[in-house]
Amino acid sequence: MNKHVKIGLFGFGCVGQGLYDILEKSEGFRAEVSRICVKDRTKARPIDNRYFTFDKDDILEDPEINLVVELINNADEAYDIVTTALKKGKTVVTANKKMLAEHLEELVYLQNKYNTSLLYEASACGSIPIIRNLEEYYDNELLYSVSGIMNGSSNYILSKIFNENLSYHTALKQAQDLGFAETDPTLDVGGFDALNKLCILITHAYGTIVKPEKLFNYGIQNLSDYDIQFAKEKGYKIKLVASVRKIAEKSIAALVIPQFVKKEEYLYNVENEYNGVTVEAAFADRQFFMGKGAGGHPTGSAVLSDISASTYHYRYEYKKLAQHHDITFSNDVYLEVYLRYHQKEEVELLQFKDISEKYSGKHFNYVIGIVYIAKLAAIKEELAGRNIFIAATGNTFQRVEEQKLKQPTEVSLQLT
């Protein structure tokens, strides 16, 4: 049976305004925004000032507000708001993927202890209902992998680079002007946003909780004209791809890394702020989901879906987590990567197990070979600080016992 929802909203930025807009035009269930908590007292806003408060307790302590919607950027403040609301027995909807990825185990515990619900479809892949599908449709499926483009900002930048020949910095500025990327774009272009989303999806896909710091993530901020030209001459595009794959009966591996994508692959045609996710399963085979991953209305639509579900007392059952499959996370895998470098020591830093292709020129050098993901994870901060670029070739993870060596090939390219 549905219920009348009185919403206390935290944040009235791009997504918050998008949600308010959508609620005003939605039909089919009763939901009203009672109060909106914001920080900036001087900012002009498009709705009546009577809705706004600057004290979070005006929402958290109000017994008539039965749904808290958290849409702020600060993960620490979001954690405080969400945990307080859950402890007071309020249903909570959030889009804060960093807060969720870092505290998911505790948040699952609080939902059970206080018999309430935390919904967060908008935290991963914008308008794509990927969490609900993993939770409901694939609840008893044997999943081989979940992978795809999970950050609309970085995909917008890469699309403009490859389709319109814009420079990285021009494309980034466009993404910021459109509200797809923050003033400090590190979370997006550094692969951290996709990393947090991936951790959330891992819990629903495999029933295990993995902290973000355990995974290797590498972004696109060091992408150069040489890397772009290399990809184009090969007929590839570069996409920032997050993926988790089952590598053994009780083990999974996962990472976020730029990847060379071929024309015949689904992700090749996922452009601009769109996200695309492929789920490979034993029985359902391969299924592909695509939708807008950034912007106020697409993300707001996912928040709306959670609000609607809450009126019917929906909650995640964390079915695979409850099934106790004892799936463990491991970085004990190899991956074939491209490395553009300047100094020989940068090749040595990655400790290639095998190099299958290499090129040396006056301004540009690269190698393609097999690297150990556990090694990359251990030095990822150092890698991010160097003027190099790493991208996966598209070949899947190899377990240690499957890894085979090849002889390196010298190549000659017309790169300038």
Half-sphere exposure of 25 (CA within 13 A, CB side): 9
- Read off the pLDDT band of 400 (50, 70, 90): low
pLDDT at 414: 44
8 A C-beta contact, residue 234 and residue 223: no
Residue range of the domain that includes 151: 136-287
User: Are residues 258 and 166 part of one domain?
Assistant: yes
pLDDT tens digits along 341-378: 999 999 999 999 999 999 998 888 999 999 999 999 99
pLDDT at 16: 83
User: Are residues 351 and 280 part of one domain?
Assistant: no
pLDDT at 323: 84
Question: What is the arithmetic mean of pLDDT over 23-43?
Answer: 82
Q: What is the dihedral of CA 348, 354, 359, 365, to 10 degrees?
A: -30
User: Would you state the structure tokens that stand for residue 48, as one six-digit string?
Assistant: 């009546």
User: Would you state the structure tokens that stand for residue 220, as one six-digit string?
Assistant: 């696109």
Give the chain's end-to-end CA distance (angstroms, integer).
Answer: 66
- Would you say residue 143 lies in a domain? yes
Chain length of the chain:
416
- Read off the pLDDT band of 412 (50, 70, 90): very low
The residue from 229, 262, 287 where one domain ends is: 287
- Would you say residue 162 lies in a domain? yes
User: Which segment of 72-86, 88-102, 385-399 scores lowest on mean pLDDT?
Assistant: 385-399
Question: What is the arithmetic mean of pLDDT over 120-134?
Answer: 94
pLDDT tens digits along 146-166: 999 999 999 999 999 999 999
pLDDT at 362: 85
pLDDT at 41: 83
User: Are residues 346 and 251 part of one domain?
Assistant: no
pLDDT tens digits along 38-83: 988 888 887 878 889 999 999 999 999 999 999 998 999 999 999 9
Is it the case that residue 411 has pLDDT exceeding 70?
no
pLDDT at 98: 96
User: Are residues 344 and 214 part of one domain?
Assistant: no
pLDDT at 407: 42
pLDDT at 240: 98
User: Are residues 243 and 156 part of one domain?
Assistant: yes
User: Are residues 273 and 344 part of one domain?
Assistant: no
- Would you say residue 68 lies in a domain? no
**Number of compact structural domains in the chain:** 2
Higher pLDDT, 408 or 69: 69
pLDDT at 139: 87
Catalytic residue among 90, 98, 197, 246: 197
- Read off the pLDDT band of 1 (50, 70, 90): very low
Beta bridge partners of 148: 242, 277
Which of 234, 289, 205 has its CA nearest to residue 414? 234
User: Are residues 281 and 142 part of one domain?
Assistant: yes
User: Domain with 406 in it: what CATH number?
Assistant: 3.30.70
- Would you say residue 100 lies in a domain? no
8 A C-beta contact, residue 176 and residue 185: yes
pLDDT at 226: 95
| Cα(105)–Cα(118) distance, integer angstroms | 12
pLDDT at 123: 95
What average pLDDT does the chain have?
Answer: 90
Is it the case that residue 408 has pLDDT exceeding 50?
no
Which of 171, 241, 218 has its CA nearest to residue 390? 218
Non-local CB neighbours of 230 within 8 Å, separated by 6+ positions: 338, 340, 366, 413, 415
User: Are residues 278 and 183 part of one domain?
Assistant: yes
User: Domain with 241 in it: what CATH number?
Assistant: 3.30.360.10
pLDDT at 87: 97
Is it the case that residue 406 has pLDDT exceeding 60?
no
Higher pLDDT, 301 or 367: 367
Query: Does 197 qualify as catalytic in the annotation?
Result: yes
Phi and psi at residue 57, to the nearest 5°: -70, -20
Other C-beta atoms lying within 10 Å of the C-beta of residue 318: 18
Indicate whether this model's pTM tops 0.85. Answer: yes
